[in-house]
């Protein structure tokens, strides 16, 4: 039987996620959005492109969650970006309602689905969805680490002129300005970035990685990144549906790993058909541990603010 992936939110990120997934030909797709005609139009446009590339999957757009029935994976991209004059509390309150409603509605029709959350603030929204949906941690993940690590790889390639295929980067922590690029473990063909690059060049790459999303927002003026976040989701979904046991960085619910518990946080995870299979723990040096603790404090603060605003 063909697998099914439903994407909640048919904006640029949601529709581009559908695009990348359709190219992989791994599942039938459903786009859901509250705007009448928009998910239907995007789904039809994507469906009409598939004969050109020789891919056979179903692509459906709907304003009704009933269309998501029987989904193997539910991707939540719905939400609003932070706008000028909007406080963090405003963003949390608005997106918490959107993510909460999406989780509840999707579970009504797909009680066994695995969830991948993209809505910001990412780690906090994944925590909210888990609590509202009463989901086991194996079945809910936040997409951030694949994106942040890819950005770092791209910046290293730009600096060195080396193919991205030779570059491996690892970014842990919360999805925000306090994320933790592991410069010692990240490497070019096995050579640590700390050895390959001068300290000032490496520091510039780390800072650009942390500000990667903001850099794109400032260039676009309206809107935010969608190509890289959406293909990151596609990689995670493919790893799950193909039972690849692939290790990727993602936001997962911690139960003591890295000395942290009862929070979502970016760590290396192994993904298979049941979702999260295990969390890989790296040995960190003193500086990396300190940076991780700082990042964790920021995530805990965000979760605390959300808990004071939303009943879960």
Q: What is the per-residue pLDDT across 176-190, written as a single tens digit (0 to 9) for each? A: 889 999 999 999 999
Instruction: Report, as an integer, the average pLDDT of 132-151.
Output: 97
Mean pLDDT of the chain: 95
Residue 43 and residue 81 in one domain: yes
Which of 94-98, 135-139, 275-279 shows the lowest mean pLDDT across its residues?
A: 94-98
- With 80 as the cut, is the pLDDT of residue 84 above it? no
Residue 137 and residue 180 in one domain: no
Residue 223 and residue 156 in one domain: yes
Can you give the CATH number for the domain in which 104 is found? Answer: 3.40.50.720
pLDDT band at 79 (very low <50, low <70, confident <90, very high): very high
CB distance 141 to 269 below 8 Å = yes
The number of domains in the chain is 2
- With 70 as the cut, is the pLDDT of residue 85 above it? no
pLDDT band at 82 (very low <50, low <70, confident <90, very high): low
CB distance 43 to 74 below 8 Å = no
CB distance 274 to 135 below 8 Å = no
Residue 132 and residue 210 in one domain: no
Hey, which residues are catalytic here? 175
Beta-sheet pairing, 187-188 with 167-168 = antiparallel
d(CA 191, CA 168): 10
- With 70 as the cut, is the pLDDT of residue 66 above it? yes
129 phi/psi in degrees, rounded to 5: -60, -40
Which of 142, 172, 196 is at the close of a domain?
A: 142
| Owning domain of residue 272 | 145-309
Q: What is the pLDDT of residues 219-263, one digit of tens each?
A: 998 888 999 999 999 999 999 999 999 999 999 999 999 999 999
With a CB cutoff of 8 Å and minimum separation 6, the contacts of 84 are none
- With 70 as the cut, is the pLDDT of residue 152 above it? yes
Ordered DSSP codes for 108-136: HH-TT-EEEE-PSSHHHHHHHHHHHHT--
145-160 and 199-210 helices, crossing angle to 10°? 140
- With 80 as the cut, is the pLDDT of residue 83 above it? no
Residue 164 and residue 124 in one domain: no
> How is the beta sheet containing 167-168 ordered, strand by strand?
167-168, 187-188, 191-192
Instruction: Report, as an integer, the average pLDDT of 7-28.
Output: 98
Instruction: Report, as an integer, the average pLDDT of 268-295.
Output: 96
**For 161-270, where are the alpha helices, taking DSSP H only?**
193-196, 199-210, 212-220, 227-241
Q: What is the pLDDT of residues 86-98, one digit of tens each?
A: 566 677 888 999 9
Residue 154 and residue 126 in one domain: no
Residue 23 and residue 166 in one domain: no
Residue 55 and residue 171 in one domain: no
Instruction: Report, as an integer, the average pLDDT of 127-150.
Output: 97
Looking at per-residue pLDDT, the higher value among 213 and 232 belongs to: 232
Instruction: Report, as an integer, the average pLDDT of 108-127.
Output: 96
Which of 142, 176, 205 is at the close of a domain?
A: 142
Residue 136 and residue 152 in one domain: no
Can you give the CATH number for the domain in which 294 is found? Answer: 3.90.110.10
For residue 280, the model assigns a pLDDT of 97
Which of 142, 171, 200 is at the close of a domain?
A: 142
3-class state of residue 29 by DSSP: strand
CB distance 55 to 20 below 8 Å = no
Residue 116 and residue 172 in one domain: no
The single-letter DSSP state of residue 277 is: E
- With 90 as the cut, is the pLDDT of residue 170 above it? yes
Residue 43 and residue 112 in one domain: yes
Residue 133 and residue 178 in one domain: no
CB distance 218 to 225 below 8 Å = no
């Amino acid at each position: 039987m063909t697998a099914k992936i439903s994407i909640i939110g048919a904006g640029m990120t949601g529709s581009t996620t559908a695009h990348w997934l359709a190219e992989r030909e791994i599942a039938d797709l459903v786009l859901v959005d509250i705007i009448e005609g928009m998910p239907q139009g995007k789904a039809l446009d994507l469906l009409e492109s598939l004969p050109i590339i020789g891919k056979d999957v179903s692509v459906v757009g709907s304003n009704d969650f009933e269309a998501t029935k029987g989904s193997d994976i539910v991707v939540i991209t719905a939400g609003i970006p932070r706008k000028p004059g909007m406080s963090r509390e405003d963003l949390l309150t608005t997106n918490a309602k959107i993510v909460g409603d999406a989780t509840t509605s999707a579970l009504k029709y797909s009680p066994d689905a695995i969830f991948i959350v993209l809505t910001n603030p990412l780690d906090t929204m994944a925590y909210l969805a888990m609590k509202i949906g009463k989901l086991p941690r194996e079945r809910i993940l936040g997409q951030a680490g694949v994106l942040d690590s890819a950005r770092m790889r791209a910046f290293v390639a730009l600096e060195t002129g080396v193919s991205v295929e030779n570059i491996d980067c690892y970014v842990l922590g919360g999805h925000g300005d306090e994320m933790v690029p592991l410069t010692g473990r990240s490497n070019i063909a096995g050579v640590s970035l700390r050895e390959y690059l001068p300290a000032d060049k490496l520091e510039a790459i780390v800072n650009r990685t942390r500000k990667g999303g903001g850099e794109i927002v400032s260039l676009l003026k309206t809107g935010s990144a969608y190509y890289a976040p959406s293909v990151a989701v596609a990689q995670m979904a493919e790893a799950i549906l193909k039972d690849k046991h692939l290790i990727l960085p993602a936001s997962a619910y911690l139960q003591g790993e890295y000395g942290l518990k009862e929070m979502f946080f970016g760590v290396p995870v192994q993904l298979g058909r049941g979702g999260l299979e295990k969390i890989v723990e790296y040995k960190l040096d003193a500086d990396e541990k300190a940076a991780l603790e700082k990042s964790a404090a920021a995530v805990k603060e965000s979760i605390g603010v959300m808990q004071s605003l939303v009943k879960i």
